[in-house]
Structure 1
């Protein structure tokens, strides 16, 4: 049961990584829109 849960979690993580822009990409979009600063995006994404 644990193996099944673990395997499905890995598949979900892989799907999300392939089908979503990363947090840094989203942050850069917000910088370009004037909603946040580049320093803030870099600070947060370096922690992640």
Structure 2
């Protein structure tokens, strides 16, 4: 949750442009989701 706040602050201050922030958000969201899925089911780890 703190990552979202940091990304929002970086966008508002103009450190990183909005498309880059959106890409990072989608990337980390997908990575976090797949990580939670693999942690929830041990059989998913074997697929990777």
Sort the TM-score into its range (normalised by shorter chain).
0.3 to 0.5
Structure with the greater alpha carbon radius of gyration:
1
Is the helix fraction higher in 1 or 2? 2
TM-score by length of 2: 0.47
Q: Which has the higher contact order (CA 8 A, sep 6+)?
A: 1
